[in-house]
Amino acid sequence: MEAFVDFFSFQDPNVRLVVLGMLFISLSSSLVGSFAFLQKKSLVGDAVAHSLLPGIAIAFMISGSKNPWVLIMGALISGWVSILIMDFLTKRSKIKTDTSIALVLSVMFGLGILLLTHIQHSDFGNQSGLDKFLFGKAASLTLIDIQAFGLVTAVIVVLVGVFYREFKLLSFNYEFAQAIGMPVKALSFLMNTLLVLAITTGIQAVGVVLMAALLIAPAAAAKIWTYSLSKMILIAMGFALFSSLLGSFVSYTYINMPTGPWIVVILTFFTVMSLLFAPKRGVFSRMKMQRLNSLKINSENILKTLYHLEEGKETLFEWHKVDQILEKRAFNKVTLKNTLRLLSQKRWIVLGDQKVKLSRAGEIEARRVVRLHRLWEMYLTKRLNFKSDHIHSNAETIEHIITPEIELELIKELGAPKTDPHSSEIPYAD
């Protein structure tokens, strides 16, 4: 509790610098990362992160200074060179995109390690501290670093705000943006520049190895929660900012716990939880939805089968053996038993000893399903010119998803037909 109070009081200057720096980095990386994720540039971000090392090393060797502005400029140039190389290899050779990314990542990272090794063995190498760019070291952030991070973040936020609509269209429909005369090359250049800037500001705290996770994980987690781009960006920012704050707290509380890796671990946790539990698109939500859809389809198929057993008879609501349903339609016995129990709970059928019959409410529902099936068969034959012996399986699928609005349109379009292509009566609602 004492550590919690000490940390969140922000009285320690080092805590303030680390937290502020990580918040700036998280904000910029999650914002730019959302667009990179949608534009399928996730691996490009990883390649760029590893490609910054040569630029940082060369900038240090030329200037002899660890001034963050000098290092950012060197990293920016190196990052852009890597993008140009990847673009050249993809467009001017037979090398595929994934191969060009792998080549640039490995070659540039290897060159960076070579240059860092050279610096470490030079006269000022032991004092350089450039090795922190490999794995990051948030605790070493200075006020000058924070000022640089803040300025870069402000630039990214402003430019994304100004070009939000253009970036949105570029992310979802590049070809359309090009067709309407939008300067897609200039916008792509700007987007890539912002991507390189975001990565450049982050590697000092998180390192090149983990920067790709900070760039992509918030966007990947947020995408599962919403279909709206603006909401996705806000959620991604929320995940990134909270992870940065919590990761910084863990690093402060436990000795020798690095900040960057803990932030990535927490982000990974959020991503996994989102994949599993997000409403509508999470694994468990989709499993539940599939189960409900399966129950719905099985229920409607049983009702339809019972209707077929009674169709053409003078008396309705007769008892039918369960085996008669199995003769008409192949059901798993366990599935059939569970579905019959569900239909009984809905009062659509009456269950007896190995026998079943439709209730009045069940008969109405059964007529609806049969009606949709036969209307769709008529539509396929009359409007799409399908042969009558090729339409049953299609109608078996579509009947379960036709809405009341579509049903009314079908009846209007077909002129309320009395029979289907097989001369069976179409049972309209009473």
> What CATH number is associated with residue 295?
1.10.10.10
Task: Give domain status of residue 44, yes or no.
Answer: yes
Domain boundary among 193, 214, 235: 214
pLDDT for residue 348: 93
CA separation for the pair 422, 370 (Å, rounded): 13
Whether residues 41 and 130 share a domain: the answer is yes
Domain-located, residue 247: no
Task: Pick the closest to residue 308 from 294, 327, 289, 293 (CA basis).
Answer: 327
Collapsing DSSP to helix, strand or coil, 107 comes out as: helix
Do the domain assignments include residue 164?
yes
Tokens 């680390």, located at residue: 18
SS3 236: helix
Residue type, 231: K
Report the CATH number at residue 185. 1.10.3470.10
- Residue 350 and residue 206 in one domain: no
Q: Which domain holds residue 363?
A: 282-430
Q: Give burial (CB, 10 Å; 0-12/13-18/19+) of 275.
A: middle
- What does DSSP assign to residue 40? T
Q: Please report the pLDDT score of residue 48 as a whole number.
A: 83
* Residues 331, 194 share a domain: no
Query: Is the domain of 201 the same as that of 80?
Result: yes
Same domain, 206 and 287: no
Please state, in angstroms and rounded to a whole number, the distance separating the CA atoms of residues 123 and 113. 18
Position 329 scores a pLDDT of 85
Residues 17, 160, single domain; the answer is yes
- The reply to whether 51 and 193 lie within a common domain is yes
- Of 167, 182, 214, the position where a domain reaches its end is 214
Do both 204 and 309 map to the same domain?
no
pLDDT of residue 142: 76
pLDDT at residue 315, rounded to an integer: 66
**Does residue 162 lie within any of the structural domains?**
yes
Instruction: Give the single-character DSSP code of 93.
Output: S
CA–CA distance, 214 with 268 (Å, rounded to integer): 9
Residues 351-364 as b/e (b if ≥16 CB within 10 A, e otherwise) read: eeeeebbbbeebbe
Give the whole-angstrom CA distance, residue 354 versus residue 1.
64
Q: At which residue do the structure tokens 């630039």 appear? A: 155
Phi, psi (deg, nearest 5) at residue 351: -95, 135
Cα–Cα distance for residue pair 310/320, rounded to 1 Å:
9
Domain count, the chain: 2
- Would you state the pLDDT for residue 418? 92
For residue 17, how far is the Cα from the chain centroid? 32
Any domain includes 220: no
Q: Residue 272 domain-assigned?
A: no
Residues in the chain: 430
Answer yes or no: do 150 and 296 share one domain. Answer: no
The answer to whether position 401 is within a domain reads yes
Q: Are residues 292 and 208 located together in one domain of the fold?
A: no
The residue out of 214, 236, 261 marking a domain boundary is 214
User: Do 176 and 56 share a domain, yes or no?
Assistant: yes
Whole-angstrom distance, CA of residue 379 vs CA of residue 224: 37
271 in a domain, yes or no?
no
* pLDDT profile of the chain (430 residues), mean per 10: 69 79 87 88 80 84 77 83 86 82 86 82 59 65 81 91 90 86 86 84 73 85 91 92 86 76 87 90 90 91 90 77 87 88 92 89 92 93 87 88 92 91 86
Residue 45 and residue 191 share a domain: yes
Query: What is the predicted pLDDT for the residue at 255?
Result: 72
For residues 29 and 215, the answer to whether their CB atoms sit within 8 Å is yes
